[in-house]
Structure 1
C-alpha cells in the first residue's frame, strides 16, 4: 500500500473496522451485564425479522422494515423505531450489531437522540470512538442510578442535544463524562477518580 494520504486513510478505516468487530464481539459476550433487561425469549420473533434484512444496512432501512416491532424490557415496551436512529449515516454491518443496540434500550434510546441531533450539524463527524465513549458514559450512568428510572441518561442525552443545537457541534467525550460526573455528584452518587466518570 502506498504511503500517501489515501493509503493512510484506508489503513485508518481498516483499523477502525477491526476495532468495531472486536467491540461487537465483546458486547455480545457481555450481553448479560449492566442493563440487559430484554429477555432472550423476547428477541425470538425479532431475530427472524432481522435475518430477512440485507446487510450492511442503514438505520432508515431497519426502521422502515421492522420499526414497529416491539420488545419488552424491565423498563417497559420499546419499538425498534424508538431505539435505532432513523438516519442513513447509521449503518449496521450485521444482525449482531442491531441485537447489541436493542439489548440496552435506555442507552439505545439516548444514542438515537444524540445521533439524530448530530445530523442537524453541517459537516459534523461522529467518529466510532466518540460514539463508543458516549455509550460507555450512558452505561455508567445506568449502573449508577439504576433505581432512578435512568434519569441521568436522559439528563445527559438532553444536555448533549442542547449543546449540538446551541454550539452546532458535538461536545467532546471528555465534556460529556465531566457533565455526567457533575450530575452524579449533585445527586449524591459517589464517583471515584479511577472510574470512567472520574475525570
Structure 2
C-alpha cells in the first residue's frame, strides 16, 4: 500500500473496523453484566427478523424495516426506534451488531440521543472509540445505579446533549467520565479512583 494520505486513511479505517469486530465479539460473549434485561430468546427472534436487511445497514434502514418491533425487558418495553439512532452515519455490519446495540435498552436509548444530537455538529467526527467510551460510562452508571430509575444515565445524557447544543462540540470522553463521577459522588454513590469513573 502506498504511503500517502489515502493509504494511511485506509489503514486507519481497517484498524477501526477490526477493533469494532473484536469489541462486538466480546459484547456477544458477555452475559453476566448488570443490564442485558432483554431475554436471549427475544434477541434471537429479533436477530432473525434482521436477516431480511442487507448488511452493512444504516440506522435509518434498521428503523424503517423493524422500528415498531417491541423488545420487552425487566424495566419495560422498548421499540427498536427508541434504541437505534435514525441516521445514515450509524452503520451496522451484521444483525449481531444491532443485537449488541439493543440488548442494554437504557444505554442504547441514551446513546441514540447523543448520536442524533451529534448530527447537528459541523465538521465533527464522533469516532468509534469515543462512542465506546461514552457507552462504557453509561454502563458504569447503570451498574452503580442498578436499583434506581436510571437517573444517572438520564442526567449525563442530558449533560452531553446540552454541551453539544451550547458549545457546538462533543465533550471528551474524559469530561463525560468526570461529570458522571461528580453526579455519583453528589448522590452518595462511592466511586473509587481505580474505577472507570474514578477521575
Q: What TM bracket, shorter-length normalisation?
A: over 0.9
SS at match of 1:71: strand
How do residues 105-124 of structure 1 correspond to structure 2 at under 5 angstroms? 105-124=105-124
2:66 corresponds in structure 1 to 66
- Aligned mates of 1:126, 1:16 — CA distance in 2: 13
Aligned length: 199
**For the residues of structure 2 that align with 1:192 and 1:163, how far apart are their CA atoms?**
26
**1:72 is paired with a residue of what secondary structure?**
strand
Q: Which moved more, 1:14-23 or 1:41-50?
A: 41-50
1: CA distance, partners of 2:5 / 2:124: 21
Partner of 1:157: 157
Alignment match, 2:87 = 87
Q: Distance in 2 between matches of 1:31 and 1:166?
A: 38
Post-superposition CA distance 1:95-114 (Å, at most 9, x none): 01000011100000000000
Contact 1:31 1:100 in 2 (8 A): no
C-alpha distance in 2 between matches for 1:198 and 1:33: 19
**8 Å contact kept, 2:47–2:96:** no
Deviation for aligned residue 1:191:
0.5
* Deviation string, structure 1 residues 124-151 (Cα, Å, up to 9, x no partner): 1100000000000000000001111111
Instruction: Give, in whole Å, the separation in 2 of the partners of 1:102 and 1:66.
Output: 13
* Displacement over 4 Å in runs of 4+: none
Q: Unaligned stretches of 5+ in structure 2?
A: none
User: Residues 27 and 44 of structure 1: is their aligned pair in 2 closer, same or farther, counting only changes over 3 Å?
Assistant: closer
**What is the TM-score when the length of structure 2 is the normalising length?**
0.98
**After the TM superposition, which residues 108-187 of structure 1 pair with which residues of structure 2 at under 5 Å, given as runs?**
108-187=108-187
Measured in 1, the distance between the counterparts of 2:57 and 2:50 equals 11
| Per-residue deviation, 1:42 | 2.1
Q: Which runs of 5+ in 1 are unaligned?
A: none
SS in structure 1 opposite 2:55?
A: coil
| 3-state secondary structure, aligned to 2:72 | strand
> What is the 5 A alignment of 1:26-37?
26-37=26-37
Question: 1:188 aligns to what SS in structure 2?
Answer: coil
CA displacement at 1:4 relative to structure 2: 1.5
Counterpart secondary structure, 1:174: helix
| CA shift for structure 1 position 34 | 1.9
Q: Secondary structure at the match of 2:113?
A: helix
Contact 2:43 2:103 in 1 (8 A): no
Match of 1:13 in 2: 13
Deviation at 1:5, TM superposition (A): 1.5
